[in-house]
Structure 1
Amino acid sequence: MKPLQNLFLSGLLLGWSVAASAQSLTLSQAETLAVQRDADIARLQQLSLASEDMAVADGQLPDPSLSLGALNLPTDTFATDQEPMTQFRVGLGQKFPAGDTLALSRRRGEQNAVAQRWMAQDRAHQVRREVRLAWLESLYWKQAQDVYQQDEGLFQQLQEVTQSLYSVGRSKQQDVLRADLELSQLNDRLINVRQKEDEARARLARWVGPEAMSRELDAALPELNAPHVGALESALLAHPAVKALDAEVDMSATNAALAQQSYKPSWGVDVGYAWRDGENMDGSARADFFSAAVSVQLPLFTGQRQDRRVSAAVRNQEASRSRRLEMLRMMDAEAQVAFSHWRQAQERGRLYVEQITPQALSQAESALSSYQSDTADFAEVMRAYLTVQKLRLEQLRIDIDGRAALARLDYFFAAESPIDSLSFKE
């Protein structure tokens, strides 16, 4: 009985205490790799930089215009000194947008850059969450494989017990065949679990790359403390996803202010200098001309243009606010669900560790003892040990699910930035 008991105890105590080798890939390293490799983060960073550049450009005056012309040339001779109104003119013009259009255009670009930066921060937190979930799933199948490998030794011992009892006439051949069958089925389950582990590692490689996945995973996970659910409201208001929507709301307000500028006139200034050839009747040289003009664009008919644009901008602003409110509600609900899953996993985990698994193990050992004393059949023994195996896997799944719920919950309490250490690439 001692070898069987020691085998089960060693399996139950293994859990998360597997020592990581020097070449193993830690979860922290995997998170950093995934954030560095993520194309969406790089895309959002570049969009933010592009918006900053556009903000500067949008805040500048339009380019001045230069005009060159020959005016009033006589078509009979094309002589430049024949007619007094013949002139060669050079002019400069400058347009001035209405009201605060330039300042508001620059502000809108800056707000868009802020929104893109917050979206990059949110994407980094999403990547970290997905890496943790993929890591946990890979680790579950690795631990499940360990459970089956430990049970392989146990089932081999049960096989030896049935053969020993059969050799002395104390068991039936059916028991020996049943032990052989269960061992074969265990090997089949082990092959299936290895396939599941390979699939989970392939999904993790999508984030960290195949080179990193050539290393063994470090089974030691960082201990994450469950955030206080009472602090959720303030955490969500400071969340990067909500901050990005805040910037979009600000940008829509700026668009509304920009639309209001269309009620104001825009201005233009033109200056010109005209050179004339030839002489006056008294023999003096003809004087050159200088001209200056101011143009004003008058928004007189606003019903179908300016009014519509302002109305559209205000509606877009309200839509942005509604989107932000819906995002807060959705994130709050998802966080509450994750917290509930984590709390239930904690309760179930304690129940399995303290009662269910030890009780099942005791019942299995009792069934084996009764079988060796000819007071129970072998089928009962196998059912008992298969139940223990199932409960050990369920206990492992509960532990993994609890950690996964905590990883999801941690996303909503995103405080530090996973990309603070990464510079924006010019």
Structure 2
Amino acid sequence: MSAFPVTCRVYLIRSLLAAALLMHVAGPLRAAEPLSLREAQQLAAARSGQLLAQDAATRAAREMAVSAGQLPDPVLKLGIDNLPVTGADRLSLGRDFMTMRRIGLMQELPRAEKRQLKAEGFEREAERAQAQRQMALTSVQQGTAVAWLERYYAQAMRALLQQQLEETRLQEQGANLAFREGRGAQAEVFAARAAQIELEDRLSQIDRQARNASLMLARWIGADASRSLSGEPVWKTMRDKASPDAMLSAGELRQHPRLALSAALVEAAETQARLAQANTRSDWTVEAAYQQRGPAFSNMVSVGVSIPLQWDRNNRQNRDIAAKLAAVDEARANDADTQRAYEAEVRSLLNDWQNGKERVARYTDQMIPVAGQRSAAALTAYRIGKGDLASVLAARREEINTRIQTLSLELETARLWAQLNYLNPDNSIAPGANASASIKGEP
């Protein structure tokens, strides 16, 4: 009976040790998992200082909005009135009938409309900060996507060149062997060697591009940029969730952060103009004081009201209103200009993206197959003795160039996709935000 608990304890200890070992091993494995575009953008958003700064600015403005809507703090007033400083009663608090010890309370009473407008002004500041946060998120998502795509295509180009380099090395070995056996010309050996050197140089350039892309990706996500990439770009196969006409509608464009920020500036200027108009009505200040005199005299109470006199309204309040109305006109003009420029920019991006997709399809469906057929024909002619190795190398070089051009064109089009796809940021992959409607597509 006593052996059973011991066996259970041994089994439990072994299980715990195995679990600990598994966790120890799984940690590095988890860290080495491939990096998808979506995860990269999540890491970048969580790491962004701009998002934290704009969140703090939003909180600060909303806290100030609550404070601005309240009455000012009352003022406690203490003093001594009519204290003698000469004669027999000098510095006496109780012998002269005019000497009084005073305690009072003063309260400024700004109009409720003004307090509400001041609070509304800070709410407009919060909206501006939130729009700037969305712009920062747009920059983070676009920058991360472009860096991820550049690294992806650099690796694809490298794999293509590496494959061709291995093939060229075999061709050089074959040409060298044929020359030694008297079946080939030495020029073919030199041609194969020159082709190999050219490919090695291009491979070095691609490695530089890949390192630069990794450095730029590290700018957004830090040490995770060293992980391998997972998934494929989806811009070629994604189905647009909105047509160009729908994307360019006024309602859709107004949701974009740049135009939302411009609209928030207009609303803030309008709020300041309404506040300037409200300031033409003076605020009152009320005051009450209790005054204590000497024992032989009666105590007193004082009550007073202070009202600012706007005796030069034409040069003060009216000028302030005119300035604020001019600021409104400025904000509206800038908003209209921003909207026109932004719409033109989006139309240009859409045009370039559509053209890029058409060119990629042409290269993929027509130019690459033709280059491959030409290369195959040159290789066949060489094998049956009707062609030389130089022609084979030239045909293969042309095919590789066509494939590299296709990948470069895909990268250029993918950059356009990233700019378009994240004009309005994807809040579903932002920290602490809800999903937003836009033309999103992720691996």
TM-score bracket relative to the smaller structure: 0.7 to 0.9
Q: 2:69 matched to which residue of 1? A: 59
Partner Cα separation in structure 1 for residue 138 and residue 226 of structure 2: 25
- State the Cα distance separating 1:168 from its structure 2 match: 4.3
- For the Cα contact (< 8 Å) 1:262–1:299, is it kept in 2? no
Contact kept, 8 Å, 2:35 with 2:230, in 1: the verdict is yes
Query: Counterpart of 2:38?
Result: 28
- Aligned partner (choices 228, 236, 241) of residue 216 of structure 1: 228
Query: What secondary structure does 1:203 align onto?
Result: helix
Shift of 1:188: 2.3
Give the aligned partner of residue 16 of structure 1: none
In the alignment, is the contact (CA less than 8 A) between 2:375 and 2:399 conserved in 1? yes
Structure 1 residue 184 corresponds to structure 2 residue 197? yes
Equivalent position amino acid for 1:245 in 2: S
Q: Give 1:48's match in structure 2, choosing from 45, 58, 69.
A: 58
In the TM superposition, what are the counterparts of 1:343-358 in structure 2 within 5 Å? 343-358=354-369
Q: Distance in 1 between matches of 2:416 and 2:201?
A: 31
Structure 2 distance, partners of 1:416, 1:99, is 37
- The residue correspondences of 1:305-316 to structure 2 (distance < 5 A) are 305-316=316-327
Query: SS at 2:313's partner residue?
Result: coil
Structure 2 partner of 1:115: 128
Offset of residue 206 of structure 1: 0.2
Contact 1:98 1:262 in 2 (8 A): no
Cα distance in 2 for residues equivalent to 1:80 and 1:138 = 86
Compare 295-304 and 41-50 and name the one that shifted more.
295-304
Q: How does 1:333-348 map to 2 (within 5 A)?
A: 333-348=344-359
- Counterpart check, 1:93 vs 2:103: no
1:55/1:99 CA distance change after superposition, 3 Å = closer
The alpha-carbon deviation at position 422 of structure 1 amounts to 5.4
| Per-residue deviation, 1:417 | 5.1
User: Quick check: 398-407 or 288-297, which moved more?
Assistant: 398-407
The Cα shift of 1:165 comes to 3.5
How far off its partner does 1:91 sit? 1.4
**Higher mean Cα deviation, 290-299 or 99-108?**
99-108
1:138-177 deviation per Cα after TM superposition (whole angstroms, max 9, x unaligned): 1111111001111012212322342344344332111112
How far apart, in 1, do the equivalents of 2:135 and 2:50 lie?
Answer: 11
Deviation at 1:22, TM superposition (A): 7.1
Matched, 1:329 2:340: yes
Q: Structure 2 length as normaliser, TM-score?
A: 0.84
Partner residue of 2:185 out of 167, 172, 193: 172
Distance across 2 between alignment mates of 1:373 and 1:419 = 62
Task: Tell me whether 1:229 sits opposite 2:225 in the alignment.
Answer: no
Q: 3-state SS of the aligned residue for 2:349?
A: helix
Q: CA offsets, 1:38-60, max 9 Å, x none? A: 11111111000010111112222
Q: Which amino acid aligns with 1:118?
A: A
Corresponding residue for residue 140 of structure 1: 153
CA apart distance, 1:216: 0.9
Aligned to 2:293: 276
Shift of 1:308: 1.7
In the alignment, which of 266, 273, 288 is matched to residue 283 of structure 2?
Answer: 266
Residue 238 (1) aligns with residue 255 (2): yes
- Percent identity, aligned pairs only, is 27
Q: How far, CA to CA, are the matches of 2:360 and 2:92 in structure 1?
A: 103
Structure 2 unaligned spans of 5+: 1-30, 435-443
Whole-Å separation in 2 of the counterparts to 1:418 and 1:258:
39
Residues 81 and 191 (structure 1), Cα distance of their counterparts in 2 relative to 1, 3 Å cut: closer
How far residue 303 of structure 1 moved from its aligned partner, in angstroms, is: 2.2
Distance in 2 (alpha carbons) for counterparts of 1:183 and 1:79: 109
Q: Whole-Å Cα distance in 2 between the matches of residues 181 and 88 of structure 1?
A: 105
1:379 Cα offset (Å) = 2.7
Distance 1:161 1:333 in 2: 57
TM value normalised by structure 1: 0.87
Q: Which amino acid aligns with 1:212?
A: D
Q: What's the secondary structure of 2:307's corresponding residue?
A: strand
Distance 1:158 1:355 in 2: 27
> Could you tell me whether the CA contact under 8 Å between 1:235 and 1:413 is conserved in 2?
no
Residue 80 of structure 1 corresponds to 93
Query: Using a 3 Å threshold, how does the CA distance of structure 1 residues 145 and 415 change in structure 2: closer, same or farther?
Result: closer
**Do the aligned partners of 2:142 and 2:419 also contact (CA within 8 Å) in 1?**
yes
Q: Which residue of 2 aligns with 1:362?
A: 373
SS of 2:130's partner is helix
One-letter amino acid of the structure 1 residue matched with residue 204 of structure 2: I
Give the gaps of 5 or more residues in structure 1: 1-20, 280-285
